[in-house]
């Protein structure tokens, strides 16, 4: 535990989408730091499994079923957590899904789910929790899950990438709003690079066009072969959140490379192009 992370010990952490993936990594790390972890997920069994794992290792955790695509669910979550615990020191708006397919081939239901979970889940998580956080007057932290994809472009991953561009913009503006209010709330934009998770598993693509299966499998295999270990990535990113950093990256060099490419694109005002490695992925 770093000196910065010591500030988290004894506090309450609320993490959405924590039944799997990066959310579960953050939940386990919060438990290791001595936080009481509220593990939320739309899947009750997955949430409870992570909470039980934290408890088995001597930590404190409880599971709650939450569908972040429904604003009322996030209102309920905030009400219940503050009624039970009185404060929240760390809110990680993590829940998200990957959607693959040509824009016009993705069914309306999958489009709406992607937008509601990835964008509205974060917006309404902030809306539901911030007034209560402000009311306590205590120092606390909000981390919103963006992505390395927030600075790039990729055909057939349009739905996911546009949501992450939106999250990055939202977090930047939220950071400024906290400064304007002189609020003791630190805001981070979390930018995972390539981390070994289940986001590209075949079962996660329900509702996608059938033709997307090959791209999903290629991404799954690449992540499995070259991705960063989930526990290590979660530890690295949690350290940065605790240190009040706005830019939180699992692999900073990957973030810097993506930002440099984006800056060149804006400066040159060139036509969008598919990167060579991305073209190879799409063609195979």
Q: How far is CA 44 from the centre of its chain?
A: 19
What is the C-alpha to C-alpha distance for residues 219 and 214, in angstroms, rounded to an integer? 9
What is the C-alpha to C-alpha distance for residues 188 and 210, in angstroms, rounded to an integer? 36
Count the neighbouring beta carbons within 10 Å of the beta carbon of residue 45.
10
What is the C-alpha to C-alpha distance for residues 214 and 225, in angstroms, rounded to an integer? 17
Q: What is the DSSP letter of 250?
A: S
Tokens of 119: 């964008």
Name residues whose C-beta falls within 8 Å of residue 178's C-beta, 6 or more positions apart in sequence.
Answer: 185, 186, 187
Q: Compute the residue count for the chain.
A: 284
Q: What is the DSSP letter of 211?
A: G
Marked catalytic residue, from 82, 129, 151, 160: 160
| Plot region of 208 (φ>0 → left; ψ -120 to 50 → alpha; else → beta) | beta
Name residues whose C-beta falls within 8 Å of residue 268's C-beta, 6 or more positions apart in sequence.
Answer: none
Q: Does 102 participate in catalysis according to the annotation?
A: no
What is the C-alpha to C-alpha distance for residues 267 and 281, in angstroms, rounded to an integer? 27
DSSP 33-60: TT-EEEEEES-HHHHHHHHHHHHHTT-E
What is the C-alpha to C-alpha distance for residues 130 and 142, in angstroms, rounded to an integer? 9
Question: Catalytic positions, please?
Answer: 160
């Amino acid at each position: 535990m770093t000196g910065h992370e010591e500030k988290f010990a004894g506090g309450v952490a609320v993490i959405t989408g924590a039944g799997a993936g990066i959310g579960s990594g953050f939940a386990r790390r919060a438990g290791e730091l001595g936080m009481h972890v509220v593990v939320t997920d739309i899947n009750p069994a997955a949430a409870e499994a992570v909470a039980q794992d934290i408890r088995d290792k001597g930590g404190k955790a409880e599971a709650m079923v939450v569908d972040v695509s429904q604003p009322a669910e996030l209102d309920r979550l905030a009400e219940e957590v503050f009624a039970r615990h009185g404060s929240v020191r760390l809110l990680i708006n993590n829940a998200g899904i990957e959607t693959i397919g040509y824009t016009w081939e993705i069914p309306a239901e999958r489009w709406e789910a992607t937008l509601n979970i990835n964008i509205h889940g974060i917006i309404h998580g902030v809306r539901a929790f911030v007034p209560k956080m402000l009311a306590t007057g205590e120092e606390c932290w909000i981390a919103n899950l963006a992505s390395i994809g927030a600075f790039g472009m990729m055909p057939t991953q349009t739905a996911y990438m546009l949501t992450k561009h939106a999250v990055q913009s939202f977090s930047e503006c939220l950071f400024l709003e906290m400064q304007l209010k002189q609020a003791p709330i630190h805001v981070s934009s979390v930018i995972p690079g390539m981390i070994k998770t289940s986001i590209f598993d075949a079962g996660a693509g329900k509702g996608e066009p059938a033709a997307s299966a090959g791209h999903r499998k290629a991404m799954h295999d690449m992540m499995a072969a070259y991705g960063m270990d989930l526990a290590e990535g979660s530890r690295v990113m949690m350290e940065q959140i605790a240190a009040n950093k706005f830019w939180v990256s699992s692999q900073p060099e990957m973030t810097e490379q993506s930002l440099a490419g984006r800056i060149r694109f804006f400066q040159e005002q060139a036509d969008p192009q598919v990167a060579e490695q991305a073209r190879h992925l799409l063609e195979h």
